[in-house]
Structure 1
């Protein structure tokens, strides 16, 4: 009873105006924990409907926040437990991301938005909503419930409870909400990589969340839902991705990869794997999958999954068809179980039997029409034996395109999913990533750009100096402007491969222009790093970890930096990264740099 009274004392219920909460948003005080929060999945119509409710003065559901006490001089922050989509809808409308009935919020209505307009940080779109309606929005009182939580476990439990009573969340979202085990973490991590909405941390300011959220193409940010693998390949519908059905597929596949004997596929079994069930047999199943994941590690499980998926992407890209079209001729409304069988068959050949594709065209031909022989059951249950037999049968069909794997060759590492994740992640972690179209000047003389190469090394030092624990990359063979990509095409006839706002040009044309093989160029780069003015131990780290990777038919060089025990320098000069800009640290500020860095700030 005492505990209950204390809990009530820690709960504050109040109303705050939209203008006030928008000010908090601009101060980056609202935090999203991706461990249990959904992607930003409201459609434009849902957002417009919510804004219409506010304009008409209708009551809206309460927003639940967890208060985080300020550390040092920083302001108090609030973790959003319930209400993320509502807040995003409000802030998006105020910032003129979309209109309601074709009309946009008047940025002169509030002092904060007027200041942003005057500073050029927001652009006024027209026609305007009436000033009276804009004032109604700005002054509307949003109900807030603010709670001080003892720990993450309390937050997770509250999130589950407030969402389990209704039909707000899908079963998978409830399973994974707050589940912190090895298996759940692996599923969460792989799912983000496949969707492309990966982030360096589980926690993001709400301001940054939209940059990697899955959105409709009408919105000027985020990941186009039609380009997400599951939808683009016809495996799942948009609604199913909204319900996190992609995580269910990954969990099903991962459990099959990890366990012997092979498990069945059904909802109750997934409940057990995520620790969402009670009872001794259920807990034993949870412990079994946890141990299996822990043995192989999340990193290895993710790498195996990614390797198989990249091969499937290569085959589909080569065929020019979606998975459903390739397997069945006509695209079905969805094909989750067909995907499982094909994926697990490739996994058996590539990972379990340690084979590799020796004839890409033959694999595409063997996949063509093979779905007609895969008799997947309808309904929710899929027996273990039936699933294993289908996987073994498909592996037998695709096997002739495979042969024994050769020794590991770093130049043949396929990084399709990983690189797309890095490109997307750079939207929210700009300081830790940089991109260069190549090593040669674009003046047509085909000469190695010494200054640009030194800039790469200075950038790596700047990344390593962000703070302890940081890891970042410089990718060479990736143009981040259309102008650079067009110039490369003009000079070398390269057909750049677009992804989001980037253009993958590769480095093959540069090796050819220099009269070298890719291996020779790679060795020269490694030698240049070892001879460079980059300080130790960062110089050794960069030289050991530089990679040559493949993105479809393009070769990209990946330079990796990691924070060392102390700040790093180039030619005895220290550098830092602010966003995507590199800055030299004045000698007078070296002491402050070391103090901040050693404090982990």
Structure 2
């Protein structure tokens, strides 16, 4: 028996069936976890969900759900290895998020859903399925296979193996599944930020996944697929994003950005970059991309990618057309390789040559119709020299719209992608984020709101007290309710820019109302932080990290907080965040706050 086989004998396997009602009880107890390192987005269509529920109603057998048991603190949790889509289809149907054949699950069928109905946490949709059908659904037995694994590597390997046959996963999903290298991590992070389905951690309860999942318009939650950059701009189709082709595109671009010797664009090379191949030459390519990523750092790779992408977004906003329309004059067939050339040409100008756009209208004009002159081959392979020549040629075409950068200041760059990521992350990590429409009360008196500013500082202390390692933000210039945004519009004539459920108002109008320049207001706020009642070292951290960032044509002030070595206070008072609410800690609970904070809980 080999060593790996000996290790596998220590893994306990339990195979059993459990009624949907019991499984739903575990879901309500937040016991099902999703590891985003290898799990797909929630990508089943509404029709696929309905077909699965119809199979249950008909009494047909369904595939086994594979779980890995985790023992955390006093609770046993279950990481979903295979079956996330099925479980989500069941739970979302039970909670009346969609119907089957025009009828909804009767919430009075199960004690758990009836309690949620009585508490107003669920709402019964009409008409309902017959009670006997709902009872049959609740009693239906789902086959479960529950493993106890010694380490994460075993979980990753099982995930790869069960999905390597058939069409369960695309090739890119298999590449990324369980890949732990620096390059794979950079691709994961960048891809998630471009799509907008970001989360603060890799592990999320299944209950939270739907808030940042990619859905279609028929489902009342998540990120609308039509608004994802790749789909909206005509670069990829919905089906291609479902298959993680966006991650494949990011990997192709990132490898070109990082490697001095530019690689060909081909599937086999991508296999190598993710460590998905054997052989000496393949392992050498893996080592090269890993070294290049480490030298460059994941953080800088993310920043460079974001700088270029944000410039593309600004230019397309100026043009009032999608990228595909701008390049070809109409909504052409999907064009991922044309996007690569445009992106890498702008990367050469902005990052490698340290230039910036000096004439936005000229850049729009130079991009207009330029797709016809970009040489892109048909077929799977794209030679290194041909690709490099296409990038260099496009950079030459777009170059006249650029000039020498005045100096790269990360605090002043456009924060389009970063802002949208923070707004999305707030869905799953409410305590670490807060949003304020401004520093002035909306009473028409144009006076700085001292009380509101103190609350911002107290909120920053509360964020820093969540637990060790936490970083969070308070964004000023973002209204989180439509009435506030409408009030700003009425008072100052400002048109808010919507994103998801937020309204970006900016703070330019407040600087005008206070008779200050943006720079003067920024300096005053920094001084206020330095002279505030925030405890050290948090006060110094906040003062050093205040940012004025651009979101399209809006300026947002960003206040950043990070947990210090011990809990922070404001004027001797300690604060904590419960969801998006701020609460003061009474003196008798100081000890509990310290214990929880130091334990990282």
Mapped contact 1:410–1:548 kept (Cα < 8 A): no
- C-alpha displacement at 1:407, in angstroms? 2.1
Q: Which position in structure 1 is the counterpart of 2:463?
A: 463
How do residues 106-145 of structure 1 correspond to structure 2 at under 5 angstroms?
Answer: 106-145=106-145
Mapped contact 2:485–2:496 kept (Cα < 8 A): yes
SS at match of 1:76: strand
Please give the alpha-carbon distance, in whole angstroms, between the structure 1 residues aligned to 2:9 and 2:247.
34
- C-alpha displacement at 1:6, in angstroms? 6.0
Moved more, 326-335 or 300-309: 326-335
- C-alpha displacement at 1:596, in angstroms? 1.2
- C-alpha displacement at 1:271, in angstroms? 0.3
Q: Which position in structure 2 is the counterpart of 1:594?
A: 594
SS at match of 1:414: coil
Change (3 A) 1:132 1:344: same
Please give the alpha-carbon distance, in whole angstroms, between the structure 1 residues aligned to 2:240 and 2:597.
44
Q: Which position in structure 2 is the counterpart of 1:520?
A: 520
Mapped contact 2:11–2:149 kept (Cα < 8 A): no
How do residues 226-305 of structure 1 correspond to structure 2 at under 5 angstroms?
Answer: 226-305=226-305
Mapped contact 2:415–2:550 kept (Cα < 8 A): yes
2:40 corresponds, among 38, 41, 53, to 38
Question: For the aligned residues, what is the CA RMSD?
Answer: 1.0
Q: Which position in structure 1 is the counterpart of 2:580?
A: 580
How do residues 187-586 of structure 1 correspond to structure 2 at under 5 angstroms?
Answer: 187-409=187-409, 412-586=412-586
Q: Which position in structure 1 is the counterpart of 2:52?
A: 50
- C-alpha displacement at 1:264, in angstroms? 0.2
SS at match of 1:99: coil
Please give the alpha-carbon distance, in whole angstroms, between the structure 2 residues aligned to 1:217 and 1:412.
35
Mapped contact 2:412–2:547 kept (Cα < 8 A): no
Cα deviation 1:166-225 (Å, max 9, x = unaligned): 111000000000001000000000000000001000100000001000001111110000
Change (3 A) 1:443 1:143: same
Change (3 A) 1:129 1:346: same
Q: Which position in structure 2 is the counterpart of 1:65?
A: 67
Please give the alpha-carbon distance, in whole angstroms, between the structure 2 residues aligned to 1:5 and 1:200.
32
- C-alpha displacement at 1:7, in angstroms? 3.0
Mapped contact 1:479–1:505 kept (Cα < 8 A): yes
Please give the alpha-carbon distance, in whole angstroms, between the structure 1 residues aligned to 2:374 and 2:338.
7
Output the TM-score relative to the length of structure 2. Answer: 0.99
Please give the alpha-carbon distance, in whole angstroms, between the structure 2 residues aligned to 1:554 and 1:268.
43
- C-alpha displacement at 1:70, in angstroms? 3.5
Please give the alpha-carbon distance, in whole angstroms, between the structure 2 residues aligned to 1:369 and 1:5.
60
Mapped contact 1:196–1:223 kept (Cα < 8 A): yes
- C-alpha displacement at 1:331, in angstroms? 1.2
Please give the alpha-carbon distance, in whole angstroms, between the structure 2 residues aligned to 1:177 and 1:241.
16
- C-alpha displacement at 1:4, in angstroms? 5.7
Please give the alpha-carbon distance, in whole angstroms, between the structure 2 residues aligned to 1:5 and 1:257.
40
SS at match of 1:69: strand
Moved more, 62-71 or 297-306: 62-71
Please give the alpha-carbon distance, in whole angstroms, between the structure 2 residues aligned to 1:195 and 1:530.
37
Please give the alpha-carbon distance, in whole angstroms, between the structure 2 residues aligned to 1:221 and 1:300.
32
- C-alpha displacement at 1:408, in angstroms? 3.3
Please give the alpha-carbon distance, in whole angstroms, between the structure 2 residues aligned to 1:411 and 1:8.
52
Mapped contact 2:11–2:147 kept (Cα < 8 A): no
Please give the alpha-carbon distance, in whole angstroms, between the structure 2 residues aligned to 1:368 and 1:521.
39
Unaligned regions of 5+ residues in structure 2, if any? none
SS at match of 1:555: strand
- C-alpha displacement at 1:333, in angstroms? 2.2
Unaligned regions of 5+ residues in structure 1, if any? none
Q: Would you say how many aligned residue pairs link Structure 1 and Structure 2?
A: 599
Q: Which position in structure 2 is the counterpart of 1:174?
A: 174
- C-alpha displacement at 1:156, in angstroms? 0.4
- C-alpha displacement at 1:411, in angstroms? 5.9
Please give the alpha-carbon distance, in whole angstroms, between the structure 1 residues aligned to 2:215 and 2:600.
35
Please give the alpha-carbon distance, in whole angstroms, between the structure 2 residues aligned to 1:223 and 1:191.
14
Output the TM-score relative to the length of structure 1. Answer: 0.99
Mapped contact 2:363–2:401 kept (Cα < 8 A): yes
Please give the alpha-carbon distance, in whole angstroms, between the structure 2 residues aligned to 1:293 and 1:410.
21
Q: Which position in structure 2 is the counterpart of 1:25?
A: 27
Mapped contact 1:237–1:333 kept (Cα < 8 A): no
SS at match of 1:413: coil
Mapped contact 2:338–2:374 kept (Cα < 8 A): yes
